[in-house]
């Protein structure tokens, strides 16, 4: 399907009927003229690529300057027109966004150096203006759509990079839809055999489930109306292919698709949080829930901000169905992530203390290590550990939520709260029980750190189980200082009168 400029305008007008699209029209004409005569590797006119990226972003409800910058994003690099001319025509903000993309685009490293450098720049760009990353992700998505036209080794590199860097970042920004789309496009290039296998076994199962869900939906609609709940919408949603495959490959599923209950899940969107819980009650009065499958991400959001209630029930004819309940606001947030609020943000930076700025606080953490860790391999290790694996969330005795990587211990918690707390830590309680400092924390745990002001240095043995870079680097540097003093002390002792040199 060829992207069409009128489609872009239509989407913008649906999101905001008052929107002034004059500048968008000008940007499109400017880019089309600059790229005139250029073709993509697929043989299409070049302008289809920036236009496709802009259309994807308009669907995520980003602000107009982001759309304008998306239309212009390849102009400085691929045409004779300079960034300065963009600045003269479209202003500083658009020029900064386009400049940000250009900087991300030119990488001189190869191998692990290249990978680490890539990540460093991504995080730096996010911290300066996260909209640069929205454009970069949409750019990548559009490139994946025409990946077939490239030579095999390039396909593989781009697809792998997508799974390893771009999709996890989209996920960390709470952009569920974009993450799933990126993964599904890269999937067949990186794991062609698994992809063929899955697309062969999937279709009948999916179709069966969709027909069945229609029945479930009717019963549910009736019961909700009886209880005076007007759902905004009730619809089936299909799982993305790559995440489905990841799940099937886990040992507990062992490639058995009959064990998967949420290939198609039922999603109920209601007007407010009270209705969410009321709906959960109605669902459970109709059908018995499976034990251990009720997840209240409204009371305890996921680290990326995701909110929803999930439950899995034995529905009609004893079939197992996953049901997700959320408000419209939570829904938009889950699909579009931080772009959902972007229209209300000024100058590319969220207000300090706002929910959005908290969502981005991990970026600043990662940037701090960039200064501390010069070695690329170590930097990568730290990032992989901190940003990409599953996170857990635990509580302070005051009820503050602390976000830590999986496998974290009370030591990590202590250093996360404050360096001094880590330095003086002598013990810990989890849920009011005394535990060893090497105990692995679980989501939902309440942690209290016992400190002793007389304790001056952390125990180097803590390195055996400290997980976060923050804790590890502080323990290490403190141990180094200790070694230095010990050595100095030994030397000093040797110099003291009446003592023999060692």
Q: Which residues bind Mn ion (CB under 5 A)?
A: 74, 139
Distances (CA, A) of 408 to 388, 411, 424, 461, 472: 14, 8, 18, 15, 11
Tell me whether residue 139 or residue 386 sits nearer to Mn ion (CB atom): 139
Q: Is the separation of the CB atoms in 215 and 321 below 8 Å?
A: no
Instruction: Quote the least distance from Cβ 36 to Mn ion, whole Å.
Output: 17
Tell me whether residue 71 or residue 471 sits nearer to Mn ion (CB atom): 71
Residue with tokens 């030397």: 491
Distance between CA atoms of residues 470 and 62, nearest Å: 34
374 CB-near residues (< 8 Å, 6+ apart)? none
The DSSP 8-state label assigned to residue 4 in this structure reads: -
| Residues forming a β-bridge with 425 | 451
Tell me whether residue 63 or residue 139 sits nearer to Mn ion (CB atom): 139
Residue, CB closest to Mn ion: 139
Tell me whether residue 139 or residue 181 sits nearer to Mn ion (CB atom): 139
Tell me whether residue 49 or residue 239 sits nearer to Mn ion (CB atom): 49
Instruction: Quote the least distance from Cβ 69 to Mn ion, whole Å.
Output: 12
Tell me whether residue 74 or residue 335 sits nearer to Mn ion (CB atom): 74
Distance between CA atoms of residues 268 and 272, nearest Å: 12
Instruction: Quote the least distance from Cβ 73 to Mn ion, whole Å.
Output: 6
Tell me whether residue 146 or residue 482 sits nearer to Mn ion (CB atom): 146
Spell out the alpha helix ranges (H) of 35-151.
48-59, 64-72, 75-78, 83-105, 111-128, 131-145
Instruction: Quote the least distance from Cβ 102 to Mn ion, whole Å.
Output: 10
Tell me whether residue 77 or residue 210 sits nearer to Mn ion (CB atom): 77
* Number of alpha carbons in the 13 Å side-chain half-sphere of residue 32: 12
Instruction: Quote the least distance from Cβ 158 to Mn ion, whole Å.
Output: 12
Spell out the alpha helix ranges (H) of 269-402.
273-286, 328-336, 355-359, 361-372, 376-386
Instruction: Quote the least distance from Cβ 136 to Mn ion, whole Å.
Output: 9
Distance between CA atoms of residues 459 and 471, nearest Å: 12
Instruction: Quote the least distance from Cβ 135 to Mn ion, whole Å.
Output: 9
Pick from 230, 239, 234, 320: nearest CA to 269: 234
C-beta atoms surrounding 372 within 10 Å: 13
Instruction: Quote the least distance from Cβ 139 to Mn ion, whole Å.
Output: 4
Tell me whether residue 139 or residue 194 sits nearer to Mn ion (CB atom): 139
Distances (CA, A) of 168 to 72, 160, 184, 382: 26, 12, 13, 15
Instruction: Quote the least distance from Cβ 105 to Mn ion, whole Å.
Output: 8
Instruction: Quote the least distance from Cβ 138 to Mn ion, whole Å.
Output: 9
Tell me whether residue 74 or residue 184 sits nearer to Mn ion (CB atom): 74
Cα Dmax for the chain? 95
- CA torsion angle for 424, 428, 432, 438 (degrees, to 10)? 170
């Amino acid at each position: 399907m060829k992207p069409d400029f009128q489609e872009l305008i239509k989407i913008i007008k649906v999101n905001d009927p008052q929107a002034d699209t004059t500048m968008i029209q000008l940007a499109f004409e400017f880019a089309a003229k600059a790229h005139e005569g250029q073709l993509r590797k697929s043989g299409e006119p070049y302008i289809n690529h920036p236009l496709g990226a802009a259309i994807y972003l308009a669907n995520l409800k980003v602000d107009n300057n982001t759309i304008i910058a998306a239309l212009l994003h390849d102009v400085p690099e691929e045409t004779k027109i300079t960034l300065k001319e963009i600045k003269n025509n479209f202003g500083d903000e658009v020029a900064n966004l386009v400049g940000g993309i250009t900087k991300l685009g030119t990488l001189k490293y190869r191998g692990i150096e290249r990978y680490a450098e890539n990540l460093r720049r991504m995080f730096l760009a996010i911290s300066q203006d996260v909209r640069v990353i929205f454009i970069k992700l949409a750019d990548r998505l559009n490139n994946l759509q025409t990946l077939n036209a490239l030579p095999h080794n390039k396909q593989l590199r781009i697809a792998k990079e997508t799974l390893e860097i771009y999709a996890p970042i989209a996920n960390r920004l709470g952009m569920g839809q974009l993450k799933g789309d990126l993964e599904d496009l890269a999937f067949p290039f990186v794991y062609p055999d698994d992809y063929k296998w899955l697309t062969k076994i999937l279709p009948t199962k999916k179709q069966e489930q969709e027909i069945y869900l229609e029945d479930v939906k009717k019963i549910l609609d009736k019961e909700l109306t009886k209880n005076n709940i007007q759902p905004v919408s009730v619809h089936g949603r299909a799982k993305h292919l790559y995440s489905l495959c990841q799940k099937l490959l886990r040992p507990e599923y062992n490639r058995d698709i009959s064990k998967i209950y949420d290939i198609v899940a039922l999603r109920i969107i209601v007007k407010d949080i009270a209705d969410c819980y009321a709906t959960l009650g109605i669902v459970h009065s109709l059908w018995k829930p499976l034990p251990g499958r009720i997840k209240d991400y409204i009371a305890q959001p996921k680290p990326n901000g995701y909110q929803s209630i999930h439950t899995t029930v034995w529905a009609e004819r004893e079939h197992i169905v996953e049901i997700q309940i959320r408000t419209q606001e939570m829904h938009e947030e889950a699909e579009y992530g931080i772009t959902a609020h972007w229209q209300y943000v000024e100058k590319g930076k969220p207000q300090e203390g706002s929910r959005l700025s908290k969502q981005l606080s991990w970026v600043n953490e990662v940037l701090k290590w960039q200064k501390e860790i010069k070695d690329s391999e170590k930097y990568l290790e730290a990032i992989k550990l901190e940003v990409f694996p599953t996170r857990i969330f635990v509580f302070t005795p005051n009820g503050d939520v602390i976000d830590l990587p999986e496998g974290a211990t009370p030591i990590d918690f202590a250093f996360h709260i404050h360096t001094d707390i880590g330095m003086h830590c002598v013990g810990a309680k989890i849920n009011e029980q005394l535990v060893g400092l090497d105990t692995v924390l679980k989501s939902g745990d309440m942690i209290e750190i016992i400190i002793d002001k007389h304790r001056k240095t952390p125990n180097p043995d803590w390195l055996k189980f400290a997980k976060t870079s923050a804790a590890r680097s502080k323990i290490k540097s403190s141990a180094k200082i200790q070694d230095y003093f010990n050595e100095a002390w030994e030397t000093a002792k040797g110099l003291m009168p009446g003592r023999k040199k060692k």
